Chain A
Amino acid sequence: MELHRDDIGARLGMWIFIFTEILLFGGLFLVYAVMRDRYSDEFHQAAHQLNAFIGTLNTVVLLFSSATVAMSITAVRKGEKRKGVLFIFITLVCAGIFLFNKYLEWGHKISIGLYPGSEMMIGLKHGYILFFSLYFFMTGLHMLHLVVGSIILTIIMVKIQLGIINSGKYTLLENGGLYWHLVDLIWIFLFPLLYLIT
């Protein structure tokens, strides 16, 4: 006798978790909206400091990685194990590229003394401080999600390879994919609101 399994219930559970994430980031977007209204000129000027090219590059990388995760579900469900592993691997490479770009981006800002709590930032106008604080906090929290997602996808990749995740049992892969798409969804809003308001 097989153990009872409820795949739809498992996915619904994942969605309920995603709702809490949406409200978590939602709160930050709300702070952003009010502060941007109050300090709109300073927000616009401060955004000039952000590297829109790296932002755009990371957007493309994330969208691409979202597609490869979705494709790996197709591969696993068709029983194409090697392709499934490969698609997850490509996703992880994309995550690596994203993190490397973030390292360059943040590294540059930190090297010129622009980071929360720095002498330079404390001396800035109020709107600038708010913008950069929100920038570091929101992209930082997003990056944390990306790292967690990468760990989850690594585990999933191993499980596909071992056959634990297969064409008959792939809910973990689907839920891991949902998490990854959430990371993408958040970036879809972060990118224009932080990088493109100049």
Chain B
Amino acid sequence: MSHLETHITDYRVYGWVLLALLILTSITITVTWIDLSALTVLVALIIASVKSFIVLRYFMHLKFESGIFTVFIVMVLLIYVLVIVLTFFDYLLR
């Protein structure tokens, strides 16, 4: 635990993280110029998820938090995915 408490992230790490996020943003925008029809949403969501993962892990310090934080977040996301799946079952099979 003492390791968790003492870690100070270097400024440069945040610089690199920011650069990665900006590159992913430009990819998102570039992809919309190419017509992928049905895949467009999927690609946009995948890139947004990757960006979220980076933000959660580095900016929100999950990398250095106790594992219980990650467990909680995964649970919340699972609940949300479950709600989406159930809603679409209802919507599509109506």
Chain A residues proximal to chain B, CB less than 8 Å:
7-8, 11-12, 15-16, 19, 22-23, 26, 30, 33-34, 37, 52, 56, 59-60, 63-64, 66-67, 69-71, 73-74, 77-78, 174, 177-178, 181, 184-185, 188-189, 191-193, 196-198
The smallest C-beta distance from A19 to any residue of chain B, in angstroms, reads 5
Closest to A19 in B: B76
List 16 additional A-B contacts (Cβ < 8 Å) besides A30-B83, A63-B21, A181-B56.
A8-B65, A15-B72, A19-B73, A63-B18, A70-B59, A73-B9, A74-B9, A178-B60, A181-B60, A184-B55, A185-B55, A189-B52, A191-B28, A196-B29, A196-B44, A198-B32
Q: Which of A7, A177, A196 has the most CB of B within 10 A?
A: A196
Chain B residues whose CB sits within 8 angstroms of the CB of A73 once the complex forms: 9
Chain A residues whose CB sits within 8 angstroms of the CB of B14 once the complex forms: 67, 70-71, 74
Q: Does B87 contact A (CB under 8 A)?
A: yes
